[in-house]
Amino acid sequence: MTAWCEAVLAAFLLTDIMLAASSRLLHCIRIVAAQGLLLGILPLVIRSWSEVHPDQIWISLVNIGIKGVALPLLLILAMKQANVRRELEPFVGYSLSVVAVLGLTGISFWVGAQLPPPVEAGVRLAMPVAFSTMLTGLFMVMARRKAITQAIGFLIFENGITLFGTGLMIEYGLVVELGILLDVFVLVFVMGIALFQINQEFEHIDADKLNRLGDWSAPDEEDAEALPTPAEEGR
Amino acid sequence: MANPTVIWLSSFLLSLILAPLLPGIVNKVKAFFAGRRGPNLFQLYFDLAKLLRKEGVFSATAGGFLQVAPPVSLGCLLLAALLLPHGLVRSPLGFGGDAVLFFYLLGMARFITVLGALDTGSSFEGMGASREMQFSALAEGAIFGVIGFIAVFTGRAGFTMLPADGGGEWWSVHAVSLLLAAAAFFVVLMAENCRVPFDDPETHLELTMIHEAMILDYGGPDLALILYGASLKLWMYAMVLMMLVLPWSICGTWLGMGCTLGGVLLTAVVVGAVESSMARYRFLKVPRMLVGALAVALLGIFFRLVFEGGIQ
């Protein structure tokens, strides 16, 4: 069953790269859904079929339901409410993002090769793939401007953590994962509301503008004085 | 088991004869998807026969290079075809780094075509030449990703992917990395042969042409040489793709040759299907795709190196 497992992990890496290259939000959300699906399948193929516990199937179904269906639907809802379709002018361009994700993957593979294999080795491949997925998620949070893309980045990060747990076949990992999942669920929920509110207030969801909030203008920002700060406007 | 040289030679000759069939297959598949009957499968043969009977007319503003370019370019392509393993048998002329020479001979053929296009002095042809060079420079990265994969796999940058243990086991162990490299190479195949997501071979609007814009000034036998060269190039790329996909355990047999030929024809069907299901990319999006292909090839190398027995 290792061949299937490897195929799933390779597909995971490919989704990471596709995510870095795609500008359309709907496309990004579909990729997140695909990752959720892959995450649900992985525990079933990581051992041979006869060793799979019957409960595992239910867990996988719940996982797919939440990560592959529910969260993406919520994101799509948030996207429609905020009325954004694509990420324009990201901090890091798309080709460069692909190169960056590739570099992060290389680093993760290097780290994965350095680390000692776990005692009850699951799949050696899972560790670097998990690392690179986490790093990709964090990279998305840093490199993109829109709040909704940043929420997607967090989701990818969380997928990486889950992948780590699944790949190492941690015994009670499920309980921890459910906790994390709850966090992310709340995060997306809050993000959805926050996005809606930000959008209502400012007619855009450009999170970079939040850096200038406050009634003092940062001393190193020369152009801040040219633009009226909210405090000056209120005066 | 038959004599490998006989297999190589017969496969080589078959390639030269069958190459113009590929565009016919692609067009037939596209016509099928569009609900048309489509041109005859052997249309390119008829076109070539017709063009060869005509005589070339050359623009008065052009220098002499315009007339030299098509035969020289086709010569480079034929030379490259000599290096290729045909029917999964190593070419008699093959050597340790033949993959590099192979791709640079193809690059040479393109360079000659570009010079010919610039020689006409037409602004459209200059535009086409500029685009062709820009995209091929980017595609080269992906090509070298794949060559790097071959080198990691076999220890030599050549078309000598004969496995040491040779057999089904080899294929099942390295399936993922091989598939990644093959996927990357398929993107290169589409880009280098001017297929739809990158260029539209059927287009008749000069502003959007890439390759077609460069050959506007040719007619008669020269156009025949160019059309034949394009189909041969597509054939050779499909052959390289087959080397990545087919198991080498069947090499050196007539079965291997049959599988390669069948695979090449099947590749044409896949190309046609992809072409009919996709719209052409904006020029801005092309570099992103090619960088993505490089990324996928490098992923194949990572997989091969770290987890299938290199660095452990």
Q: Which of residues 18-57 of A touch B (CB under 8 A)?
A: 18, 21
Percent of chain B at pLDDT exceeding 70: 89
Domain count, chain A: 2
Q: Which of B283, B294, B299, B305 should one mutate to test binding to chain A, selecting the residue with the greatest count of A CBs within 10 A?
A: B299
Q: Residue A113: its chain B contacts at CB < 8 A? A: 306, 311-312
Percent of chain A at pLDDT exceeding 90: 7
Closest by alpha carbon to A3, among B246, B303, B183, B149?
B303
Binary contact (A99, B302; C-beta < 8 A): no
**Together in a domain, A32 and A81:** yes
Q: Residue B292: its chain A contacts at CB < 8 A? A: 17-18, 21, 98
Mean pLDDT of B75-91: 86
- Note the pLDDT of residue A202: 65
Check the CA dihedral B218-B219-B220-B226 and report its sign: positive
Q: Which of A5, A17, A92 should one mutate to test binding to chain B, selecting the residue with the greatest count of B CBs within 10 A?
A: A17
Query: B295 in contact with A at a CB cutoff of 8 Å?
Result: yes
Q: Which of A1, A8, A45, A102 should one mutate to test binding to chain B, selecting the residue with the greatest count of B CBs within 10 A?
A: A102
Mean pLDDT of B78-93: 84
Q: Which domain holds residue A65?
A: 2-204
**Together in a domain, A165 and A215:** no
Closest by alpha carbon to B223, among B76, B71, B18?
B71
Residue B69 structure tokens: 């370019």
**Together in a domain, A177 and A231:** no
Indicate whether B256 pLDDT > 50: yes
Highest mean pLDDT: which of A28-32, A173-177, B63-67, B247-251? Answer: A28-32
- Note the pLDDT of residue B310: 40
DSSP category for residue B303: I
* Helix then strand then coil, % of chain B, to nearest 5: 70, 0, 30
User: For residue B120, what are the CA distances in angstroms to A28, B76, B114, B229, B256?
Assistant: 46, 21, 10, 20, 45
Query: A124 in contact with B at a CB cutoff of 8 Å?
Result: yes
**Together in a domain, A193 and A223:** no
How many cross-chain Cβ pairs, A to B, lie less than 8 Å apart? 53
**Together in a domain, A175 and A229:** no
Question: In this predicted model, what pLDDT tens digit does every residue of B15-35 receive, in sequence order?
Answer: 999 999 999 999 999 999 999
Residue B245 structure tokens: 């996909």
Q: Which residue of A has its CA nearest to B300?
A: A10
Among A29-38, A75-84, B72-81, which is the least confidently predicted range? A75-84
Residue of higher predicted confidence among B310 and A56: A56
Indicate whether B150 pLDDT > 80: yes
Burial class (CB in 10 A: 0-12, 13-18, 19+), B96: exposed
Mean pLDDT of B178-189: 89
Model confidence band, residue B199 (pLDDT cutoffs 50, 70, 90): confident
Q: Residue B287: its chain A contacts at CB < 8 A? A: 95
* HSE, side-chain direction, 13 A CA sphere, residue A177: 25
Cβ proximity of B158 and B94 under 8 Å: yes
Binary contact (A17, B295; C-beta < 8 A): yes
Amino acid letter for position A195: L
Binary contact (A3, B176; C-beta < 8 A): yes
User: For residue B137, what are the CA distances in angstroms to A30, B69, B277?
Assistant: 32, 21, 26
Of B175, B288, B306, the CB nearest to A113: B306
- Note the pLDDT of residue B3: 78
Q: For the beta carbon of residue B235, count every other beta carbon within 10 angstroms.
A: 26
Q: Which residue of B has its CA nearest to A20?
A: B292
Closest by alpha carbon to B271, among B231, B228, B218?
B231
Radius of gyration, alpha carbons of chain B = 19
**Together in a domain, A160 and A235:** no
Model confidence band, residue A135 (pLDDT cutoffs 50, 70, 90): very high
**Together in a domain, A59 and A118:** yes
- Note the pLDDT of residue B307: 63
Q: Which of A98, A99, A104 should one mutate to test binding to chain B, selecting the residue with the greatest count of B CBs within 10 A?
A: A98
Radius of gyration, alpha carbons of chain A = 20
Model confidence band, residue B169 (pLDDT cutoffs 50, 70, 90): low
Query: How far off is chain B from A7, nearest CA to CA, in Å?
Result: 6
> What rounded mean pLDDT belongs to chain A?
76
* Interatomic CA distance for residues A88 and A83, integer angstroms: 13
**Together in a domain, A91 and A23:** yes
Cβ-Cβ contacts under 8 Å for A24 (sequence gap 6 or more): A85, A86
Q: Which of residues 72-101 of A touch B (CB under 8 A)?
A: 94-95, 98-99, 101
**Together in a domain, A43 and A103:** yes
Model confidence band, residue B102 (pLDDT cutoffs 50, 70, 90): very high
Indicate whether B79 pLDDT > 90: yes
Residue of higher predicted confidence among A50 and A111: A111
Cβ proximity of B219 and B56 under 8 Å: yes
3 state SS for B232-266 = HHHHHHHHHHHHHHCCHHHCCCHHHHHHHHHHHHH
* Interatomic CA distance for residues A168 and A162, integer angstroms: 10
Highest mean pLDDT: which of B54-58, B174-178, B199-203? Answer: B54-58
**Together in a domain, A232 and A153:** no
**Together in a domain, A62 and A139:** yes
Question: In this predicted model, what pLDDT tens digit does every residue of A147-158 receive, in sequence order?
Answer: 778 888 888 888
* HSE, side-chain direction, 13 A CA sphere, residue B252: 9
Residue of higher predicted confidence among B97 and B41: B41
Each as own residue / partner, the long-range contacts of residues A105-113 (CB below 8 Å, 24 or more positions apart, any chain) are A105/A13, A105/A16, A105/A132, A105/A135, A105/A136, A105/B299, A105/B302, A106/B298, A106/B302, A107/A131, A107/A132, A107/A135, A108/A132, A108/A135, A109/B302, A109/B306, A112/B306, A113/B306, A113/B311, A113/B312
Q: For the beta carbon of residue B154, count every other beta carbon within 10 angstroms.
A: 16
Binary contact (A101, B295; C-beta < 8 A): yes
Indicate whether B124 pLDDT > 90: no
- Helix, coil or strand: residue A146: strand
Indicate whether A205 pLDDT > 70: no
Question: In this predicted model, what pLDDT tens digit does every residue of A1-10 receive, in sequence order?
Answer: 466 777 888 8
